[in-house]
Amino acid sequence: MKISFSPFRSDAALTLSRQGDVLTIDGADLDFGPLPEGAVLPCEAVNCDWLASEVTRIDGVIHLTL
């Protein structure tokens, strides 16, 4: 999983962990395992205020920006 970060100001704390294709953000699991190769998941389709980009799988690796 390749996670990029987009700078923005917030007083909220962010807690992240990852296991395989599951990203846990502040206790909420986001399972990207079903995302097929080459697919694009719009950020609006993911219930997460921290997500700043679409989610893609390229060469088997999940790419996203927080």
CA 50/CA 54 separation, integer angstroms: 12
Q: Is 90 exceeded by the pLDDT of residue 9?
A: no
How far CA 29 is from CA of 9, 15, 42, 59, in Å, comes to: 24, 12, 17, 23
Note if the pTM is more than 0.75: yes
Domain total in the chain: 1
CA 37/CA 23 separation, integer angstroms: 18
pLDDT band at 27 (very low <50, low <70, confident <90, very high): very high
Domain residues for the domain of 34 are 2-65
Q: Is 90 exceeded by the pLDDT of residue 63?
A: yes
